[in-house]
Amino acid sequence: MYVCVCNAIKNSEIQDLANRGVRRAADVYAALEVNRNCANCAEYVQEALDDCRSDHTQSA
Ligand code: FES
């Protein structure tokens, strides 16, 4: 599923970055070398990062 339509960023890519220590939405865009165009996705990118992080916290 695409989280960012402008840059075709998938949820799985965000989860992968979260697993590599990315914690902020701005760092997702930087890591993927894309620009945050409309910014409609910023909230969802951060939620995806936080969800992955809480999954790891619960399983630890
Ligand atoms: S949907 Fe991500 S920048 Fe527009």
pLDDT at position 54? 79
- Convert the pLDDT of each residue in 10-54 to its tens digit: 999 999 999 999 999 999 999 999 999 998 999 999 999 999 877
Q: How far apart (Å, rounded) are the C-alpha atoms in residues 37 and 30? A: 13
3-state helix, strand, coil in the chain (%, to 5): 55, 10, 35
Residue 59 has pLDDT above 90, yes or no: no
Nearest to 47 by CA among 13, 27, 21, 24: 24
Residue 58 has pLDDT above 80, yes or no: no
pLDDT at position 55? 75
Distance 60 CA to ligand 1 centre (A): 32
Query: Is the CB–ligand 1 distance for residue 8 below 6 Å?
Result: no
46, 25 contact by CB (below 8 A): yes
Domain that holds residue 16: 2-59
Residue 56 has pLDDT above 80, yes or no: no
Q: What is the CATH number of the domain that holds 9?
A: 1.10.10
Total structural domains within the chain: 1
